[in-house]
């Protein structure tokens, strides 16, 4: 984990309110798993005060570059979206534990299930899986066609099912709906997206192997402040916990309580 001023190489909108940003520095060298994240300072002023957690979408150690994709919604991400090529941005990273693919067999089929702004880290994961020669199927859910992105990139990984809630692109309905309707089977399932999506996947595929990536509001991002804790499943005492920032954000299915 290091803190550095990363140089911005590009920062462009790729869908409605969605930006892709390429950053250069020493952090790419430290990244060891897809699904790790960065804690980004959005300004040098005291407002917005807190860093913003953003997943690493893809990482290139050789070039010392990484890519993030973020939704410009609130105050902090808006500040990030206004940064120009050549500017620097204060980044703490890489943080957390990402997707562990050591237990994925070469002959396995892996489904990447992504929802909205949960899609980006799955792209980096897909690249790593493809490098290992693993069969990848992506099922990507969005609210509407104008919010979709990275069509070509995911197509390079393998078969892709797009779904939108309003049916403006691909299949109409949720990721879980489409997986059921299209009988999409898998040996391992990796997912990132809103909690209701993760919950419906876990309910529909109660024996799934693989992992999910969780979001929670953060303070420190390094495990010190206990802002980001979640409950674990099968814990009658209710006292056990995981910190999303330092134990996660990626957890095996059925480890943490989804609520």
Partner 1 sequence: MILETKLPGLPMKNPIMPASGCFGFGEEFAKLYDLSQLGSIALKAATAEPRYGNETPRVAETPAGMLNAIGLQNPGVKDIIEKKLTWLEQYQVPLLANVAGSTMEDYENTAKQLADSGLVGAIELNISCPNVKEGGIAFGTDPDLAAELTSRVKKVSSIPVYVKLSPNVTSIVDLALAVEKAGADGLSMINTVTGMQINVNTGKPLLANKVGGLSGPAVKPIAIRMIYEVRQQTDLPIIGMGGIHSVEDVVEFLYAGANAVAIGTANFTNPFICPEIIQGLEQWAKEKKVANIHDVTRSEVVEQ
Ligand X SMILES: Cc1cc2nc3c(=O)[nH]c(=O)nc-3n(C[C@H](O)[C@H](O)[C@H](O)COP(=O)(O)OP(=O)(O)OC[C@H]3O[C@@H](n4cnc5c(N)ncnc54)[C@H](O)[C@@H]3O)c2cc1C
Ligand Y SMILES: Cc1cc2nc3c(=O)[nH]c(=O)nc-3n(C[C@H](O)[C@H](O)[C@H](O)COP(=O)(O)O)c2cc1C
Is 48 labelled a binding residue? Answer: no
Is 70 labelled a binding residue? Answer: yes
153 sits in which H/E element = helix 151-157
Among ligand Y, ligand FES, ligand X, none, partner that 223 touches (CB below 5 to 8 angstroms by kind): ligand FES
Among ligand X, partner 1, ligand FES, none, partner that 169 touches (CB below 5 to 8 angstroms by kind): none
224 near ligand Y, judged by CB under 6 A? no
Are 110 and 136 in contact, with CB atoms under 8 Å apart?
Answer: yes
Instruction: Select 94 or 108, whichever has its Cβ closest to ligand X.
Output: 94
Is 42 labelled a binding residue? Answer: no
Are 222 and 258 in contact, with CB atoms under 8 Å apart?
Answer: no
249 near ligand FES, judged by CB under 6 A? no
CA Rg value for the chain = 18
222 near partner 1, judged by CB under 8 A? yes
Provide, rounded to whole angstroms, the least separation between the CB of residue 55 and partner 1.
19
* CA-based torsion, 128, 134, 135, 139: positive or negative: negative
* CA-based torsion, 115, 256, 134, 95: positive or negative: positive
Is 245 labelled a binding residue? Answer: yes
Are 178 and 242 in contact, with CB atoms under 8 Å apart?
Answer: no
22 near ligand X, judged by CB under 6 A? no
Cα gap 50→31, rounded to integer Å: 23
Per-residue burial over 146-166, b = 16 or more CB atoms within 10 Å of its CB, e = otherwise: ebbbbeeebeebbebbbbbee
Is 81 labelled a binding residue? Answer: no
Cα gap 173→113, rounded to integer Å: 14
Candidate segments 67-75, 82-90, 105-113, 197-205, binder of ligand X by CB under 6 A: 67-75
Site for ligand FES in 197-226 (CB under 6 A): 218-221, 223-226
Residues in binding site: 52-55, 69-71, 76-77, 220, 225, 228, 245
Residues that bind ligand X (CB under 6 A): 37, 48, 50, 52-55, 68-71, 73-77, 117, 120, 215-218, 249
Residues in binding site for FAD: 52-55, 69-71, 76-77
Residues that bind ligand Y (CB under 6 A): 219, 225
């Amino acid at each position: 984990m290091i803190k550095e001023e990363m140089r911005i190489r590009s920062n462009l909108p790729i869908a409605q309110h969605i930006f892709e940003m390429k950053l250069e520095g020493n952090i790419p060298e430290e990244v060891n798993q897809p699904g790790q994240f960065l804690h980004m300072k959005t300004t040098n002023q005291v407002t917005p005060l807190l860093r913003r957690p953003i997943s690493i979408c893809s990482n290139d150690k050789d070039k010392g570059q990484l890519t993030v994709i973020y939704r410009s919604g609130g105050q902090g991400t808006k500040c990030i979206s206004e940064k120009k090529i050549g500017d620097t941005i204060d980044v703490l990273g890489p943080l957390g534990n990402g997707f562990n693919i050591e237990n994925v067999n070469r002959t396995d089929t892996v489904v990447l299930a992504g929802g909205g702004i949960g899609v980006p880290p799955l792209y980096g994961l897909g690249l790593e899986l493809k490098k290992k020669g693993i069969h990848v199927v992506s099922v990507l859910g969005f609210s509407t066609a104008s919010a979709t992105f990275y069509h070509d990139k995911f197509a390079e990984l393998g078969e892709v099912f797009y779904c939108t809630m309003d049916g403006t692109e691909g299949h109409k309905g949720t990721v879980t709906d489409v997986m059921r309707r299209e009988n999409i089977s898998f040996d391992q399932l990796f997912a990132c997206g809103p909690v209701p999506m993760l919950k419906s996947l876990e309910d529909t595929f109660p024996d799934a192997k693989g992992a999910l990536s969780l979001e929670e509001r953060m303070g420190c991002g390094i495990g010190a402040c206990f802002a980001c804790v979640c409950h674990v499943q099968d814990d009658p005492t209710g006292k056990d916990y995981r910190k999303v920032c330092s134990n996660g954000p990626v957890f095996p299915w059925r480890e943490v309580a989804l609520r």
